[in-house]
Structure 1
C-alpha cells in the first residue's frame, strides 16, 4: 500500500487544472448517460457530469477524471467484451470483477448490455469514487446492487499472494465480502483498464500474479483491459505534449506482455494472450502543441 500511496502523492503534486472544454461525449455516450441518469437535456447533462467530475478530482486528480475518460464506453470496444456478455448468459454463476473500477461506469455498461447485475463486483482503492458513481448515474445501492470491495491489491491482507484451490463450500454472499481473497479461483472475468501503467515493472508483475490467483481454472475464463504500451518495453518519459514526464511510466510491449503471462505468471500452455497496440493522439484545447502520439496496449489473457 505504501508503494501505491507514494506514486499517488507525487502525481497529485503536479496535477493540472480542470478544463471544461475537454468535455466531448460521442453520440453513443450521450445516449448511454441519458439512459442511465434520466437527464435528457444536453446542457443539463453536461453540467451534471462536470459537477461530479469536480468532486472526484478533489478526491484524487487522476488524468482519466480530468479528461472525462469515465464517459468513454471503452470496455465495449474490446473484442473480449462480447465474450464477457456471453459468459454472463451461458455460464451459471459466472462472476465478473472490475478492478480499479472508479465510478463503476464500465460495470454499468456491462449490466445495461445484459450481464447479470448480481454476478458483478467492483473494487478500487477509494470508496469515494464508487459513492460518487451513484451521484453520477443517479442510482442507489438498492437500484444498482453491485457490491463494492474497497482495498489495495498490494496489501496481502486484502488480496493474499498465497495460492489456494477454490473451496468446496459455497461462496459467502458477495455483499458480505470485505477482501478479495475469498474470490481466489472464483472469477470468470476480470477487467483492468488504465490500471497496470500506474505501477513500475516489479509492481506490475506482482499485480498480474495476484489477479491470476483470482481467475477461475475453468477454460475460457479471462482477464482483459488496456493501458499504456510501447513497441519495446521500457519507460515512457514524455507526456502527451512531448514534455518530460515528472514520473516515467513503465510500459510493456506486446511481446513482453505476452511472455509475462504465458511463461511467467502461468505455465506454458495454460493461457493464450491476445494483444494489440493502438495509437492515439490527444491534443488539448488551449495548448500550442498539437500533442504527441501515444500507444495503448489492449489485451486479454484466456485460460485454455
Structure 2
C-alpha cells in the first residue's frame, strides 16, 4: 500500500490497540502543515473548520486499528501528493478536457488523491481506485463524507496475485481501461522480482490504443540502489532504486509486455517523516513519470 511495512506478516496486524500505539512510525500529534487537506475537507466535504482536527484523528484511529501502515501513522495521507507532482497540471488538463480519459490510482489508501482530482473539476466517474484492503476504501467515504456523492469506482485486489486467483479480486475488471495510472508509494514496497510483477500489472491496465500512457507518482529512492531488508521482517526484502536502476526495471517490464517505457524523474531530499527517526543521507524522495514510447 504505502510503505515497506505494508507487506509485513499479518501477526503485526493482530496487535492490540495499546501495542499499536507503541510501534515506530506513529505520530501522536497532527501536523501543522496540512492546509491543502483542510481546504479539501472544507470545500469538498463541507466539514466545518473547527471540526476538522477531531474528524481526521477519529478516522486515522480507525485505520490504525485495522493495520498499522506508516502512511497512516505518520499522517502521510494528508500530503495529497498527486497535486504536488510536476505532471499534475497536464493530468488535470487531460482529464477535464476529454471525457473519455480515465485515471487509476493504484494503492490509493483512502483515495484522498482522487478526491483532490474531483475537487479540481475532474468528472469523478472517470476516476478509479484500487487497494489491497477494502476497509481503507470504505474509510475514505467516512473521511470525506461523500458516500453517494462521489461516482468514482473502487476495487479491492492484490497486484501480485495470479490472474484468475481469488486474491486478484476486482483488479481483473480494470484491464485495458486507462490512459493514466497514479502509483505513489507503491512499487517501492517490493523486491525487484515483485516490482516487475506489479509493474507488468500496471501496464495491463492501459487501453491498447492509449497514446499518452503514463505512470506517475512518488516513492522512496536512494543513492545506493539495492536490496534492503524490510523493517521487522527478517524474511522479507525490498529493492530501493536510483533513476538508473528504475529505468532498468522498466526496460525489463517492456520486454515482458511488448512495450517500451521512458523514465523521467528526479531524486529530492527526503523529508523527515512524522514519527520517524533521522533519515539517512542516501535516502531520497523519487518523483517520477514513466511514459510509454511504443
Same fold flag (TM > 0.5): yes
Distance in structure 2 (CA, Å) of the matches to 1:283 and 1:229: 14
What secondary structure is seen at the aligned counterpart in 2 of 1:179? helix
State which of 90, 102, 107 in structure 2 corresponds to 1:100: 107
* Residue 276 (structure 1) aligned with residue 284 (structure 2): no
Q: What is the distance in 2 between the residues matched to 1:55 and 1:236?
A: 30
Of the three residues 172, 177, 189, the one matched with 1:198 is 189
Give the Å deviation of 1:292: 4.1
More relative contact order in 1 or in 2 (CA 8 Å, sep 6+)? 2
Moved more, 7-16 or 124-133: 7-16
CA drift of 1:109 comes to 0.4
Matched, 1:25 2:17: no
Q: C-alpha distance in 2, partners of 1:69/1:284?
A: 8
Rounded Cα–Cα distance in structure 2 between residues aligned with 1:158 and 1:23: 42
- State the shift of 1:95 in Å: 1.3
Show the 5 A alignment for 1:65-144: 65-140=72-147, 142-144=148-150
Q: Secondary structure at the match of 2:83?
A: helix
Match of 1:221 in 2: 213
Q: Secondary structure at the match of 1:266?
A: helix
Partner SS for 1:20: coil
Q: Deviations over 1:69-114 (max 9, x none)?
A: 1111210111221222122123341111111111110000011112
- Deviation, 1:120, is 0.7
CA deviation map 1:127-158 (0-9, x unaligned): 11111111111111x11121111111122246
The yes-or-no answer on 1:299 pairing with 2:291 is no
Is the 2:178–2:210 contact (alpha carbons within 8 Å) kept by the matching residues of 1? no
Give the match's secondary structure for 1:57. helix
Gap runs ≥5 in structure 1:
161-177
Q: Secondary structure at the match of 2:215?
A: strand
Q: Which residue of 2 aligns with 1:150?
A: 156
**1:118 and 1:145 in contact (8 A); partners too:** yes
> Tell me, which stretches of 5 or more residues in structure 2 are unaligned?
none
Distance 2:61 2:269 in 1: 29
Alignment check: 8 A CA contact 2:196 2:252 kept: no
Q: Paired residues, what number?
A: 275
User: Does structure 2 conserve the Cα–Cα contact (< 8 Å) formed by 1:238 and 1:248?
Assistant: yes
Query: Could you tell me which residue of structure 2 aligns to residue 164 of structure 1?
Result: none
The two structures, once aligned, show a CA RMSD in angstroms of: 2.9
Distance in 1 separating the partners of 2:241 and 2:160: 20
Q: Distance in 1 between matches of 2:279 and 2:201?
A: 35
Per-residue CA deviations over 1:231-280 (Å, capped at 9, x if unaligned) read 232134698xxxx986654211100111221x221259833211211212
Task: Provide TM-score, normalisation by structure 1.
Answer: 0.80
Q: Structure 1 residues 56 and 118 mapped into 2: Cα distance closer, same or farther (>3 Å)? A: same
Is the contact made by 1:237 and 1:245 (CA closer than 8 Å) also made in structure 2? yes
Q: Which residue of 1 aligns with 2:254?
A: 266
Q: 1:63 aligned to 2:45?
A: no
The change in CA–CA distance for 1:59 and 1:113 in structure 2 (over 3 A counts) is: same
**Structure 1 residues 269 and 238, CA gap change in structure 2 (3 angstroms):** closer
TM-score relative to the length of structure 2: 0.82
| Match of residue 42 from structure 2 | 34
Change (3 A) 1:108 1:5: closer
SS where residue 109 of structure 2 aligns? coil
Match of 2:10 in 1: 9
Per the TM alignment, residue 115 of structure 1 is displaced from its structure 2 partner at its CA by 1.7
